[in-house]
């Protein structure tokens, strides 16, 4: 993997990732952009003890532009985008409309004196990861070499962002599909570098610590061993990775992908694990796309999904295990799983599809 660093017209960082060295990445961003100031705030919910980010400036972000005006396509034919180069393999840049930004402390004053109204600057970083230059592609369309390059980019960004002094956790994820809420159709994902440990991660850590205290063992190692011994929920099994539908899946079709060797984050994967991941992950994504076949004569189906890496926080979570969680909000052809009142209001999920049925369908979603 070869990395080239540059800056955009307003000073934001941009990184090109190529499979080999030698490709010139010296195109200049010619847009007349002014530096932006982030006014992101973090407000502490005194009832739940959870941080809520307020980023009102994001109301102005780009929203469903025409394909010819996509800001994630390469800059070509006189049209300038967020990617100055006329072509690229993988590109990562600072989000122009970030939820969190390192310069927030320069514009937002902290208020810690009142426990009911605690406010701090939204000091973090948000990056956009462009998986491919083809606007009409999808991650599932990549070959294994291209998917491996994305994995290498995720790993490099995890290492660099984790090293920043104010960052606690790095979260790499992809949202795909308008049904999910994606506002740019180009194949891309995002990386959030949080200055706090998000509540879901904190709950995982507490459960893992309690399991250790009760059994003397690691929760995630025990969970993986139990699921590998339960064939009805297994979807894919490799030499170094296993994908399964969790016993208590929240979403209609949800799969977790674990390396067999427990590690804290992407940087700790070894070469054998990195080499096997692309093939298994692409197989998994393509199975999701085959869950709901498109009508004859129409474009191939692309199932909306969220795919995310769960990594241990920098200074906590020794019991946490790196894993990827993938799920779709589609529950049947033409039907979406909307969060009901008990789910949105109480986080008390009610699933429409049994995990065993979901696994059976994914096991059978192979090419004809």
Active site residues: 188
CA angle at residue 85 from 81 to 86, to 5 degrees?
A: 90
Residues 82 and 30: their CA atoms lie apart, in Å, by 10
Question: In terms of DSSP H, where are the helices of 245-303?
Answer: 271-290
Query: Which of 324, 342, 317, 322 is closest to 288 using CA atoms?
Result: 324
- Going from the C-alpha of 332 to that of each of 76, 250, 328, 336, the distances in angstroms are 40, 15, 11, 7
Specify the residue for token string 């810690």: 112
Residue pair 133/70 in contact (Cβ under 8 Å)? The answer is no
Specify the residue for token string 């054998």: 272
Could you tell me the two tokens for 37?
């100031």
Residue pair 1/89 in contact (Cβ under 8 Å)? The answer is no
Could you tell me the two tokens for 212?
């250790």
Largest CA distance in the chain: 64
Could you tell me the two tokens for 238?
């490799």
Using DSSP's 3-state secondary structure scheme, residue 242 falls into: strand
Query: Which of 171, 173, 220 is closest to 321 using CA atoms?
Result: 220
Burial of 279 (0-12, 13-18, 19+ CB in 10 A): middle
Residues 320 and 308: their CA atoms lie apart, in Å, by 15
| Backbone dihedral region for residue 363 (phi beyond 0: left; psi -120 to 50: alpha; all else: beta) | alpha
CA angle at residue 183 from 125 to 4, to 5 degrees?
A: 45
Query: Which of 217, 261, 221, 267 is closest to 241 using CA atoms?
Result: 261
Residues 229 and 237: their CA atoms lie apart, in Å, by 11
């Amino acid at each position: 993997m070869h990395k080239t660093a540059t800056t955009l017209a307003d000073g934001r960082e941009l990184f090109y990732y190529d499979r080999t060295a030698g490709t010139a990445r010296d195109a200049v961003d010619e847009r007349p952009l002014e530096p932006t100031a982030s006014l992101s705030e973090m407000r502490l919910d005194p009832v739940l003890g959870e941080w809520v980010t307020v980023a009102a400036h994001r109301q102005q972000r780009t929203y469903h532009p025409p394909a010819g005006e996509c800001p994630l396509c390469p800059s070509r034919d006189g049209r300038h985008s967020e990617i100055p180069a006329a072509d690229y393999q993988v590109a990562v840049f600072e989000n122009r409309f970030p939820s969190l930004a390192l310069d927030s402390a320069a514009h937002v004053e902290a208020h810690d004196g009142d426990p009911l109204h605690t406010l701090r600057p939204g000091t973090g970083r948000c990056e956009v990861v462009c998986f491919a230059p083809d606007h009409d592609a999808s991650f599932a369309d990549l070959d294994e070499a291209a998917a491996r390059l994305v994995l290498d980019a995720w790993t490099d960004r995890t290492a660099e962002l984790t090293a920043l002094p104010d960052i606690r956790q790095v979260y790499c994820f992809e949202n795909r599909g308008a049904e999910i809420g994606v506002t740019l159709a180009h194949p891309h994902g995002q990386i959030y570098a949080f200055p706090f440990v998000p509540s879901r991660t904190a709950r995982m850590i507490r459960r893992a610590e309690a399991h250790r205290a009760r059994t003397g063992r690691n929760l995630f190692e025990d969970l993986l061993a139990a699921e590998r011994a339960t064939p009805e929920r297994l979807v894919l099994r490799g030499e170094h990775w296993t994908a399964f539908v969790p016993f208590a899946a929240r979403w209609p079709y949800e799969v977790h992908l674990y390396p067999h060797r427990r590690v804290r984050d992407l940087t700790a994967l070894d070469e054998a694990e990195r080499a096997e991941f692309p093939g298994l992950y692409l197989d998994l994504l393509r199975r999701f796309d085959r869950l709901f076949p498109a009508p004859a004569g129409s474009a191939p189906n692309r199932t909306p999904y969220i795919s995310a890496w769960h990594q241990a926080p920098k200074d906590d979570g020794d019991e946490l295990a790196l894993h990827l969680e993938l799920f779709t909000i589609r529950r049947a052809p033409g039907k979406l799983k909307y969060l009901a009142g008990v789910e949105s209001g109480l986080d008390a999920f009610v699933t429409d599809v049994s995990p065993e049925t979901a696994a059976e369908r994914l096991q059978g979603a192979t090419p004809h």
